[in-house]
Amino acid sequence: MMKTGFQRVARLVHHKALPRNPHLLPRLHQASAFGSSTDSLVARFCPEKTDLKDYAIPNASWCPDMLSLYQEFLEKTKSGRWIKLPSFKSNREHIQGLKLPSGLAAASDKQDWRIFTRCIQLEGQGYEYVIFFHPSEKKSVCLFQPGPYLEGAPGFAHGGSLAAMMDETFSKTAYLAGEGLFTLSLNIRFKNLIPVGSLAVLDTQVEKIENQKLYMSCIAQSRDKQTVYAKCSGVFLQLQLEEEPSQ
The footprint of another protein (CB under 8 A) covers 4-6, 90-92, 95, 100, 104-106, 108, 110, 112-117, 119-120, 125-126, 148-156, 158-161, 163-168, 171, 181-190, 193, 195-197
What's the distance, CA 98 to chain centroid?
A: 17
Nearer residue to another protein within complex by CB, 33 or 105: 105
Please state the closest distance from residue 167 (CB atom) to another protein, in A: 4
Phi, psi values for residue 174, rounded to 5°: -65, -40
What's the residue count for the chain? 247
Helix (H, G, I), strand (E, B) or coil at 47: coil
For residue 127, what are the CA distances in angstroms to 94, 196, 240? 19, 11, 28
Beta-carbon contacts of residue 82 (< 8 Å; ≥ 6 apart): 73, 76, 132, 133, 134
Please state the closest distance from residue 114 (CB atom) to another protein, in A: 4
Phi, psi values for residue 209, rounded to 5°: -125, 120
For residue 157, what are the CA distances in angstroms to 40, 124, 150? 36, 13, 5
Examine the residue annotation and report whether 167 is marked as an active-site residue of this protein: yes
From the candidates 39, 109, 167, 224, give the one annotated as an active-site residue: 167
Q: How far apart are the C-alpha atoms of 157 and 15, rounded to whole Å?
A: 44
What's the distance, CA 112 to chain centroid?
A: 21
Strand 139-146 versus strand 200-210 pairing type: antiparallel
Nearer residue to another protein within complex by CB, 48 or 112: 112
Nearer residue to another protein within complex by CB, 65 or 151: 151
Please state the closest distance from residue 144 (CB atom) to another protein, in A: 12
Nearer residue to another protein within complex by CB, 151 or 203: 151
Please state the closest distance from residue 42 (CB atom) to another protein, in A: 19
Please state the closest distance from residue 155 (CB atom) to another protein, in A: 6
**CB 238, CB 180: distance < 8 Å:** yes
Nearer residue to another protein within complex by CB, 58 or 160: 160
Catalytic (active-site) positions: 167
